[in-house]
Amino acid sequence: MRTVKVRAGGRQYPVLVDEGALDRVGELLRERLGAREVLVVTDRTVSALHGRRLRRSLARGGVRARRWTELRPGESAKSLATARGLYDSWLGVGADRGTPVLALGGGVVGDVAGFAASTYHRGLPLVHLPTTVIAQVDSSVGGKTAVNFSGLKNLVGTYHQPELVISDPQLLGTLSDRDYRAGLAEAVKVAVTLRPDLLDLLEREAEGFSRRDQGLLAGLVGGCVEAKSEVVGRDERDEDVRAILNYGHTVGHAVEAACRGRLRHGEAVAIGMNAAAWVGEVLGVTVGEVRTRQNALLERLGLKLALPGADKNLILRNLKLDKKVRGKKTRFVLTLQVGGASVWPHISSRLLRAAVRFVTS
């Protein structure tokens, strides 16, 4: 078992990465949190895949699931309405400030269960059990919670660090090929911006990662969590260095929104990373190696670098919306060399337009 310690919000909590950890969740909850009962939040798809094993694991550890809530799968569950439903359901069993919430699922489940947990009685203890690549390498660590509002992603949310994260790479075995590969884009993002050693590993073992080799995945998840933990420890509230984790996300989000549902988040981020590296080259600040290595790796992992024929104008409108809502400036991250990223003060809209043309033709 690999343990990564994350320091944030004046506290420290462990991320445990281990094959088969799902079978020891009950034990771990008893040992680490002294919990005898939990409020489980998951979705129907994940519950069908891993629900029985989790129930058995809890029972073995002597932990009772006071509530077992299965959300509908997909982004639409990330809403204030879902949070209200969770409040009602927790209230129905008299959950108090000491009852932990256990979020079993991908980013959507983690975000909305985390939001409800952070606001019910001003904060319940939270345990993440991430089941997707993105959730294991990224979203389960760092304490961001969110729901969408009025069509805007993550408009409403909090910072609420979990007590414990349990990452079991075995769970990644049940993902569809497409979801699995898309998730690896976030790992490539971490590698390119922060961890040259992980980039080497991904390149060297691309075939092993394609086969979902358990040992390799445990190493990758652990490394990404370490990198993220360092960034979050320096900047929990996303005021400066944490923004580096947005590499590829400015254009990526705009592309994702323009393709409403046709692209996975990671697929859009891969295209966004290509755009970001190209912008850096045009500005003369990103060395050629970044785009060459990043793009070759993304392609070997089965990810596309461009979306010919996509609606350029819609993507550009989304970029402007991002700008409008987040202050006057687009927050753009450039990777100057492998392992060295930086938030760029200003990218002209002319250059942004050219970058969008570059990844859509």
**Per-residue contact track with a copy of itself, 193 to 222, x per CB under 8 A?**
------------------------------
Beta carbon of residue 133, minimum distance to a copy of itself (angstroms, whole number): 24
CA dist., res. 333 & res. 84, Å (int): 36
Pick one of 45, 119, 214, 337: the residue that binds a copy of itself (CB under 8 A). Answer: 119
Are the C-beta atoms of 341 and 332 separated by less than 8 Å?
no
Q: Closest CB to a copy of itself among 120 and 180? A: 120
Give the range of 18-26, 27-35, 145-153, 275-283 binding a copy of itself by CB under 8 A. Answer: 145-153
Is residue 150 a contact residue for a copy of itself (CB under 8 A)?
yes
CA dist., res. 39 & res. 121, Å (int): 14
Residue 313: count of CB within 10 angstroms of its CB: 10
Pick one of 1, 48, 155, 296: the residue that binds a copy of itself (CB under 8 A). Answer: 155
CA dist., res. 29 & res. 162, Å (int): 13
Are the C-beta atoms of 330 and 250 separated by less than 8 Å?
yes
Question: What DSSP assignment string belongs to 284-312?
Answer: T-S-HHHHHHHHHHHHHTT--S--TT--H
Is residue 69 a contact residue for a copy of itself (CB under 8 A)?
no
Beta carbon of residue 304, minimum distance to a copy of itself (angstroms, whole number): 31
Is residue 156 a contact residue for a copy of itself (CB under 8 A)?
yes
Q: Closest CB to a copy of itself among 349 and 361? A: 349
Are the C-beta atoms of 199 and 338 separated by less than 8 Å?
yes
Query: What tokens does 69 get?
Result: 């809530």
Is residue 149 a contact residue for a copy of itself (CB under 8 A)?
yes
Beta carbon of residue 220, minimum distance to a copy of itself (angstroms, whole number): 28
Is residue 238 a contact residue for a copy of itself (CB under 8 A)?
yes
The 8-class DSSP code of residue 238 comes to S
Is residue 121 a contact residue for a copy of itself (CB under 8 A)?
yes
Strands (E), 150-308: 152-159, 164-167
Pick one of 324, 345, 346, 350: the residue that binds a copy of itself (CB under 8 A). Answer: 324
CA dist., res. 149 & res. 252, Å (int): 20
Q: Put residue 248 in one of left, alpha, beta given phi > 0 → left and psi -120 to 50 → alpha.
A: left
Q: Closest CB to a copy of itself among 204 and 329? A: 329
361's CB contacts (< 8 A; 6+ apart) are 306, 308
Is residue 331 a contact residue for a copy of itself (CB under 8 A)?
no
Separation of CA 30 from chain center: 27
Is residue 157 a contact residue for a copy of itself (CB under 8 A)?
yes
Contact residues for a copy of itself (CB under 8 A)?
Answer: 9-10, 80, 84, 87-88, 91, 94, 96-98, 118-123, 144, 146, 149-150, 152, 154-159, 237-238, 324-327
